[in-house]
Structure 1
């Protein structure tokens, strides 16, 4: 196999792939008994040492769709240790430049993400904002082409995913794509309601990955 690993997927940069491979090898699950339901009831800072990230097949899809869209401004929530950010930043770079706006609540994870991006040579394309995404993503600086909504799956209602989507949705251009990992019920209620301006499909990636396209502005 050549250095660029062409059979692996659409992302061919060996420097980026080496970081992705390392993150996959370092991926750890919380101790037995820490189910998703238990994590929902705990503070995300309790899991500062765990990188809850997308899988490489989801990253490949992000990269490919961003290339197809010619994406120049994208949102990455939540960045965690930077797995999804790597795919976004590589796509933006390969599209000729742009900005990945990341949001991560836990400062330790943001520090790790920045080191991973630097190792991959992609840090110049990322604005990683630390803090509550309901504040850090209020102003995205222009129309957004792609957004990942994959933050902490809290148990409250509305969920954080739903709240973040409501903040980001008006800033998405028509034709923009949104991906969601955790399939929060109220998130799905929003994005599958045609009056919200989206068309949506569940994909069999990492259990279920919701992929949506903004086809119109929301009905008044």
Structure 2
């Protein structure tokens, strides 16, 4: 699409539903000065191919079925993906790879995730990043992750039907462990991250590790479509038990 102006009114979970109040607060968050400066500078400067877009340039809400059994947990929006389009895993190469794989096993209704009103639907799944804004060099500080953790915690309170948490990358994996460690006594090293590693956690949820579908991981062969589809098929089988 040549141009687009993503608007909060285009985001279904901002307009209505149990997360609308939380997300209306979230999109106005300015807690992290370094990240705010970066996300807004990216939105002003833009990438050449997206010059005609009005970038979203603020925190990104989650997306999907709020009653879902599957939570797909990313690290943060991409600078010219979610930070441009206003939706997690939308409009960048990671999104292209991930959504195509999700569609292969029926978790999405279509193979592409390009912009807010493109018709994408999640089937019994919800996607959200643990960090709601794009950080410089894709590397958030510990303080920035802590600042965002309350939003993540509030999301999880609403997403009460989640049975499996699929963490795309170690940061998201560890962030979920830190969240539940507030109520349970264990060490992060008890649950080492790995691709297709599955753990039953003290809260009764299953945490599943997955290499992040970043262009770097895909281009180096660390993860490929067949690996991802196999893992997602395993997750779907677990949900159907």
Q: TM-score, normalised by structure 1?
A: 0.35
User: Larger relative CO (CA 8 A, sep 6+): 1 or 2?
Assistant: 2
Q: TM-score, normalised by structure 2?
A: 0.33
Larger fraction in strand: 1
